[in-house]
Every structure is written in C-alpha cells, then in structure tokens.
Amino acid sequence: WWIKRLKKSLETVDVLRIDHFRGLEAYW
C-alpha cells in the first residue's frame, strides 16, 4: 500500500511542479 501512496504523492508533486513552472512562465 505504501508503494501506491508514494506513487500518488509523486504524481501530486509532479502536478504542483508543473503548476509552479506555468506560474513562473506566466510571470516572465
């Protein structure tokens, strides 16, 4: 179950990272 949890958290981090990157792109 922890593998699934880890994958889920990694996916969430990926989404947040993409969102952050898009925000920086929009700022520039």
**What pLDDT, on the 0 to 100 scale, is given for residue 15?**
75
**What pLDDT, on the 0 to 100 scale, is given for residue 28?**
63
* The residue type at 4: K
**What pLDDT, on the 0 to 100 scale, is given for residue 27?**
67
pTM of the entire predicted model: 0.39
* The residue type at 28: W
**What pLDDT, on the 0 to 100 scale, is given for residue 1?**
67
Apex CA 17: angle with CA 9 and CA 12, to 5°? 20
**What pLDDT, on the 0 to 100 scale, is given for residue 21?**
77
**What pLDDT, on the 0 to 100 scale, is given for residue 14?**
73
Domain ranges of the chain: 1-27
Q: What is the pLDDT of residues 1-28, one digit of tens each?
A: 678 887 887 777 777 777 777 877 776 6
State the Rg of the chain over Cα: 12
